[in-house]
Amino acid sequence: MSRAQPLKEPWREQRLFFKRIAIAAIIVVLLSAGLVARLVQLQIHDHDHFSDLSRGNRIRIEPLPPIRGLIFDRNGVVLAENRPTWQLLLTPEDVDDIPYTLNELTAAGFIRVDDRSRIDQLVKNQRRFEPVTLRYRVAEEDAYRFSVSSHRFPGVVMRPRLSRYYPFGAPAAHALGYVGSISVEDLERIDRADYAGTAQIGKSGLEHRYENRLHGSVGYRQQVVNARGRILQGPTAAFLGSADTLTGNVDARLPTPGDNIVLGLDVRLQLAAYEAMGDFRGAAVGIDTTSGDVLLLVSTPAFDPNLFASGISRADYRTLNQDPDHPLFNRALAGTYPPGSTVKPFLGLAALVENNIDPKRRAMCPGFFTLPGNEHRYRDWKPQGHGLMDLHDSIVQSCDVYFYQLALGLGIDAMHSYLTEFGFGSPTGIDIRGEKAGLMPSREWKQGAFARPEDRVWFPGETVITGIGQGFTLTTPLQLAHATAAMATSGKQFRPRLVAAIEDGVNGSRQRVPRVALDTATGASEGQWAAIQRAMLGVTSEPRGSGFASMQGAVYSAAGKSGTAQVFTIDQEAEYDEEEVEDRLRDHGLFIAYAPADDPTIALAVVVENGGGGSRAAAPVIRVILDAYFASGDYVAR
């Protein structure tokens, strides 16, 4: 019989117990060591790192946008300023569900449906900690309404901001340009740090050209915030302590305002020209002959730049963009027109310099001109003809036949050479972008402009019509004004400029922009210049002058020249009846002038699209501008 096994083995259980105690002790020791090591790492080794993170959770850096520089006219009148308004901002990192929030804001009427695509793009491309402007100008009523329901939109705030405002609206739009919302394309080319907190940027005109000077430098300040990102103010912040107490190095940097810009523009002349243009399409440009300062630059029709500064809707932009009169198009700089008879004084001077004509010799004008061996008639604007004409009379009465003959004698090469000296066919270099070069044709130009060999040949008939500013010749109103200024000063030329001075936005010191002298036009003698200038004075002072009617009763003397540019070619035997021609196919009217005739200080060019003859459509606009100039106090006799 076997021995029974005991039910308990105390010594074995005791050994197992102590073994487990040892293992547990080892685990506790290891865990404790790990905890102590982690605490050492967090509290000592990584102290600075987590301290910075802690500050970041309690301190937020808020960008302070700079005040955009102002724009003044030559007399100190403000043309572009900043006005306080409410703006609706969204900070992406503070919004849990951005699409939902935007939908709710849209439903509540705080943002426009048309703006959603723009906002969605900006939110997608903007850094999450940078605020996105949802609406640039919020009415007081909407601002109050949002303040009541702001708890529904965490991460969306209403902030007071300065918004661009143009007191004179449309009349100065094409000279000043406008600011608009920063687009995705803008974000790709600008330094985002420089535009933190800024919602708008210069888009056209001076606002774009001088963006670097007008914008200024961004500042910042550090704000104490709670765990939800809400800024702590008042008793809460006081209880927690000041920002300096909390972090020891919290600071702020004030933004640097942009520089102010002073123009040579005179807003009184600008308004006078804009009103005189009325409902016509066209442009008017005035230049100070002594400096190149642009005194006025008008393009009609125009647009209200405040629409863009306040955040233009897609519907409004579509309306402007699809308008058949193209109000967004700057005709003064980019509109190209045949100069018509306004080139006659310049070609007359070229003929004198080349000894191509005797200014006293009189030639018959029967009302048409034909090339030898050719039956095609180049008609004069006066069907019955002008009779016997010399150089002076042909400019005063704008005889086409005389200049058909003159052009044929000069030849296209000489015509091109002399007219380019006055700036025809090349940009003037004005200090805003968008200027077109126009076109001064030549044999060389034609060889490169056409594909077929037979089209590259320069024909005598093309020389003939170039003599009255038709054919391929194209010029801008700015070029015409620039050339007129050179004629007024016997060839002295200055680069046209809108900006006359830049004023420091901090200390107010003003730095003049130096005028830039260009090469003197032609090598004409004093007597040759005087002969053409007397003829241009005759245009406005002699009874048969094409500008005489418009200048009657003026208290000043002005010299000028009218021009009419055909829009389409009519058949040889057809008669041009303006009343039967569609409005947009009627002739363009042009007029150039300078005054006072004996000591010029202002040169002007006006183009009226489809307005008919220059003496009827453009000369009255010139008269209004000159009346305003001599009444404004800008003119000082020298």
- Where in the sequence numbering do the catalytic residues fall? 341
Please say whether the beta carbons of 589 and 238 come within 8 A.
Answer: no
The pair of three-digit structure tokens given for residue 172, joined into one six-digit string: 């100065």
Instruction: Tell me the C-alpha distance between 584 and 578, whole Å.
Output: 11
The number of residues making up the chain comes to 638
Instruction: Tell me the C-alpha distance between 625 and 612, whole Å.
Output: 20
The pair of three-digit structure tokens given for residue 631, joined into one six-digit string: 């009444």
For residue 4, give every residue at least 6 positions away whose Cβ sits within 8 Å of its Cβ, in sequence order, or none: none
The helix, strand and coil proportions of the chain, stated in percent and rounded to the nearest 5, come to 40, 20, 40
Bond prior to 324 in cis (omega within 30° of 0): no
Instruction: Tell me the C-alpha distance between 474 and 386, whole Å.
Output: 27
Three-state DSSP class for residue 535: helix
Phi, psi of 20 (to 5 degrees): -65, -40
Instruction: Tell me the C-alpha distance between 566 and 308, whole Å.
Output: 36
For residue 602, give every residue at least 6 positions away whose Cβ sits within 8 Å of its Cβ, in sequence order, or none: 286, 287, 288, 289, 295, 594, 595, 626, 629, 635
Instruction: Tell me the C-alpha distance between 284 and 276, whole Å.
Output: 10
The rounded radius of gyration (Å) of the Cα atoms in the chain is 37
Q: Check residue 481 and report its DSSP letter.
A: H
Strand partners of residue 132: 90
Instruction: Tell me the C-alpha distance between 339 and 477, whole Å.
Output: 9
The pair of three-digit structure tokens given for residue 307, joined into one six-digit string: 């629409």
Q: Which helix (H) or strand (E) holds 493?
A: strand 493-494
The Cβ of residue 578 has, within 10 Å, a number of other Cβ atoms equal to: 12
Phi, psi of 543 (to 5 degrees): -55, -35
CA distance readout (Å), 159 to 90, 127, 195: 10, 19, 17
The crossing angle, in degrees rounded to 10, of helices 477-488 and 526-541 is: 120
For residue 266, give every residue at least 6 positions away whose Cβ sits within 8 Å of its Cβ, in sequence order, or none: 73, 74, 75, 295, 296, 629, 632, 634
Q: Which helix (H) or strand (E) holds 179?
A: strand 179-181
